[in-house]
A and B are shown apart, each in its own frame.
Chain A
């Protein structure tokens, strides 16, 4: 029986068995992202960055708690809420206390909901959720909880930065808002409406949502945008929807700028190529042209040597892991996540590498940081998709949305 039991646990969780036997004394972080299927590109890119940052920035500098290393373990959620929940359970089973995820707010929502329930029901096995990329504002507003920390700026913060830039451009008079018909697309549209009305006199000539990943031909949308006489377009589209929208607009003869959230990397930069110059203007914390520091040049070189096909496009990973390491050291434990979370709240992190500051706002667990607006350009030191094109910083908004309101009513244990 005992032998059988051993064999059974071996079969069902061989992954568990091996990873826990090879590395005995590490702080494990479960990286739960799509690692297979059509959306796996961003998942595997993120995993590469997590692994590299953990090794290069944490472990090589002595780890945490006097010598414990960070270990990143990838789990495939197949971009499915159900699979994500299963993988969270499997990760908790392996003794992992930190869950990292970011691609898709829908999945993030499922995870934060599950983590909240799990922590309530299993006080001895609580976990923290490190959200490094999901930007739905609800996660740090109505749906916020003590276990969730967001290291990316949320959709509202980013729109705040975009509209700051637009306010300084008097030749933009008519704006067209177009986005995917789901929570994130709606959040972008709502934020754009609000901030444009507050800060500018720009007229919104179109505000519409299209079905997500279902439109193959964006030409009719491009015609509409042209006919509306818009000077600029704001969109939260990603993936094929972003690429097709942009291409259709250029083909229809559109010459103005497109302010976007996700119009770089995963092949988009290389497919746009020369046509994107002067058109794509992205918001984000992660553009490195000009380079933030000499140290970053070295860091980037090491990253490219290890992952020549990947871009280092999510420097927030550095912030997330570094701040987690500091919090663990401050709390003196990596097992009691309540102590770690309390150490993380209100922390200000000074990154020499990125030459920037990050502040973890305690009232909603939203990281406040510098946001850049970048131009798609060939005049860059660090390109994307190895295409020669990259994002060149055009304007920076310091500590964006530092005192933006939140509806979060944080319940602390």
Chain B
């Protein structure tokens, strides 16, 4: 039971981290109808900027300064890139963000090299916060958790209580009307894209020290974020929140329990083969849950898209 609770906590932390990424993505989609394939690249930029700043001014300055830089970069990309492509339609926009991902990844390697960089959690958070069932939880993880919750509450407040939020909210349900009311000025587009990528930047700053900062980090986390957003329902912030948590727990619990296919097959009355390594179904017999854990989100993605193309909480077709 204790182990269950600690896995539950780990999954929560991971899920909330995914939410930080997917919130920005879904925000951008709800306003602009663009699925930003370069989102995880901005996440990586956040981590690298924060690393560079932390070398001179420490972690906390990095945390404060790096996300705004990413925001500005995102806004510039919208202003000078995406807006140019917008006239050609949605598919070219998707392709543009895909190309952007490619170039950012290459640029990061060009600037910071291909090795891991030494981006660390601050000394002040480098201690064990509490211990549960023999496993300890680092203070930094608790800090991550608090940050994600703060972002969720902050976003919620902005969306529910402010004028900007009202525009965004309205655009979730009635994008056409909002457009015709004259709100869809290019500035709002630029702002939303900037803030959305900025959220990815914050996630990068915070996740960099635990998930490691290296040129492959965008690729490693890239497509899982799309899964969160699409499963939750494109454009739905709450949906992205729920889906991120589901996927966080899904991956954590799948990795935590070594359920094997063999046990299930034996339960159904099949006989364990004598020499399993030469058996034609050897891959099935030796299969375990952790082996396929990272696949489960994609399975979920495909199933959701087949049976409920607008996602769990989406009101619009993707």
Q: Decide: A267 near B128, CB < 8 A? Known: A240-B212, A251-B138.
A: no
Give the distance in Å from the alpha carbon of A210 to the alpha carbon of B256 in the complex.
11
Q: When A208-B258, A211-B293, A266-B116 are in contact, do A227 and B109 touch as well, CB less than 8 Å?
A: no
Question: What residues make up the interface of A, taking CB atoms closer than 8 Å to B?
Answer: 37-41, 44, 181, 206, 208-211, 213-217, 219-224, 226-227, 239-240, 243-244, 247, 251-253, 266-268, 270-271, 273, 385, 387
Given A243-B212, A247-B210, CB of A227 within 8 Å of CB of B135? yes
With A213-B216, A223-B135 already in contact, 10 other A-B pairs whose C-beta atoms are closer than 8 Å:
A208-B288, A217-B251, A219-B10, A221-B255, A223-B10, A252-B135, A252-B136, A267-B116, A271-B116, A271-B120
Q: How many angstroms between the C-alpha atoms of A69 and B115 in the bound complex?
A: 32
Tell me, yes or no, whether B291 is within 8 Å of chain A by CB: yes
- Tell me whether B136 and A208 are in contact (CB under 8 A): no
The docked-state distance in angstroms from the alpha carbon of A226 to that of B135 is 7
Chain B residues with CB below 8 A from A224, complex form: 255-256, 258
**Are B133 and A227 in contact, CB atoms less than 8 angstroms apart?**
yes
> Given the complex of chains A and B, what is the CA–CA distance between A38 and B251 in angstroms?
25
Query: Min CB distance, A177 to chain B, in Å?
Result: 12
Q: Is the CB of A208 within 8 A of B115?
A: no
| Contacting residues, chain A, for B105 (C-beta < 8 A) | 38
Of the residues A209, A215, A271, contact of B294 by C-beta under 8 Å: A215
Among the listed A39, A222, A226, A267, which residue makes an inter-chain contact with B118, where contact means beta carbons less than 8 Å apart? A267
Please give the distance in Å from A243's CB to the nearest CB on chain B. 5
B134 neighbours in A (Cβ, 8 Å): 226-227, 253
Quick one: which of B10, B116, B253, B255 contacts A243, CB cutoff 8 A?
Answer: B116
A268 to B116, CA, bound (A): 7
A221 and B212 CA atoms in complex are apart in Å by 17
Return the chain A residue nearest B248 by Cβ.
A217
Most buried by A among B117, B128, B256, B292: B256
- Whether B220 contacts A40 by the Cβ 8 Å rule is no
| Distance in Å: Cβ of A309 to nearest Cβ of chain B | 8
Within the complex, which residue of B131, B216, B292 is in contact with A38, where a contact is CB–CB below 8 Å? B216
A-B contact pairs, 13 of them (CB 8 A): A41-B114, A41-B115, A213-B216, A220-B11, A220-B253, A221-B290, A222-B135, A223-B10, A227-B134, A251-B141, A253-B131, A266-B116, A271-B118
The 6 closest A-B pairs by CB, nearest first: A267-B116, A267-B115, A253-B136, A41-B114, A220-B255, A220-B256
The answer to whether the Cβ of B14 comes within 8 Å of any Cβ in the partner chain is yes
Interface residues of B: mostly helix, strand, loop or mixed? Answer: helix
A223-B153 Cα distance, complex, nearest whole Å: 30
Report whether A271 and B212 are in contact in the complex, using a CB–CB cutoff of 8 Å: yes
Chain B residue contacts of A243, Cβ below 8 A? 116, 212
Judge whether B113 is part of the interface by a CB distance below 8 angstroms: yes
Asked if A223 contacts B6 (CB within 8 A), the reply is yes
How far apart sit A236 and B109, CA to CA, in the bound complex (Å)?
A: 26
Residue of B nearest to A209 (CB): B291
Q: For chain B residues 200-256, which have a beta carbon within 8 Å of chain A? A: 210-212, 214-217, 219-221, 224, 251-253, 255-256
Q: In whole angstroms, what is the CA distance A387 to B117 when docked? A: 12
Q: How far is the CA of A136 from the CA of B101 in the complex (A)?
A: 34
In-complex Cβ contact of B290 among A208, A244, A247, A270 (8 A):
A208
B184 contacts the other chain (Cβ, under 8 Å)?
A: no
Question: CB of B52 within 8 A of chain A?
Answer: no
| B252 cross-chain contacts in A, Cβ below 8 A | 217, 219-220
- CB of B136 within 8 A of CB of A210, answer no
Residue of A41, A213, A226, A247 near B212 (CB, 8 A) is A247
Chain A residues within an 8 Å CB radius of B131: 253
B294–A244 touching, CB < 8 Å: no
In whole angstroms, what is the CA distance A38 to B114 when docked? 6
Contact pick for B219, options A38, A222, A239, A266, CB 8 Å: A38
**Given A38-B216, A226-B135, A252-B136: A217 touches B10 (CB 8 Å cut-off):** yes
Question: Which residues from chain B sit less than 8 Å from chain A, CB to CB?
Answer: 3, 6-7, 10-11, 13-14, 105, 109, 113-118, 120, 128, 131, 133-136, 138, 141, 210-212, 214-217, 219-221, 224, 251-253, 255-256, 258, 288, 290-295
Nearest-neighbour CB distance to chain B for A23, whole angstroms, equals 29
Asked whether B115 lies within 8 Å of A385 as measured between CB atoms, the reply is yes
Chain B residues, CB < 8 A from A211: 291-295
Contacts A251-B136, A252-B135 given: A41-B255 contact, CB under 8 Å?
Answer: no
B226 CB to closest chain A CB (Å) equals 15
Determine the chain A residues whose CB is within 8 A of the CB of B13 once the complex forms: 219
B256 is contacted by which of A44, A215, A223 (Cβ under 8 Å)? A223
Nearest Cβ on chain A to B288's Cβ, whole angstroms: 7
Residues of the B chain whose Cβ atoms lie less than 8 Å from the Cβ of A38: 105, 109, 114, 214-216, 219
A46-B294 Cα distance, complex, nearest whole Å: 32
Give bound CA distance, A211 to B215, whole Å. 19
Residue from B131, B253, B290 with most neighbouring chain A CB atoms (10 Å): B290
Name the residue on A nearest B220 (C-beta).
A216
User: Known contacts A223-B7, A253-B128, A268-B116: does B211 contact A216 (CB below 8 Å)?
Assistant: yes
Say how far B283's CB is from chain A's closest CB, in angstroms: 11
Min distance, Cβ A137 to any Cβ of chain B, angstroms: 15
Report the bound CA distance from A287 to B50 in whole Å.
34
CB A142 to nearest CB in B, in angstroms, measures 13
**Cβ contact within 8 Å between A210 and B255:** yes
Known: A219-B14, A243-B212, A253-B135. A213 touches B220 (CB 8 A): yes
CB nearest neighbor in B for A40: B114
A41 to B116, CA, bound (A): 10
- Who on chain B is nearest to A229 by CB? B134
A211-B291, A217-B14, A224-B256 known; A273+B251 contact, CB < 8 A: no
Would you call B3 and A223 a contact (CB within 8 A)?
Answer: yes
Q: Chain A residues near B120 (CB, 8 Å)? A: 271
Considering only CB atoms, which chain B residue lies closest to A270 in the complex? B118
- What distance in Å separates the Cβ of B111 from its nearest Cβ neighbour in chain A? 14
Would B133 and A244 count as touching, CB distance under 8 A?
A: no
CA distance A169 to B105 in the complex (A): 45
Q: Which residues of B contact A220 (CB under 8 A)?
A: 7, 10-11, 251-253, 255-256
Expressed in whole angstroms, the Cα–Cα distance for A222 and B136 within the complex equals: 10
- Roughly how many angstroms separate A264 CA and B105 CA in the complex, as a whole number? 24
Given contact pairs A214-B294, A217-B252, A227-B3, A41 touches B288 in the complex (Cβ within 8 A) = no
B133 CB contacts on chain A under 8 angstroms: 227
- The complex places the Cα of A297 from the Cα of B101 at a distance, in Å, of 44
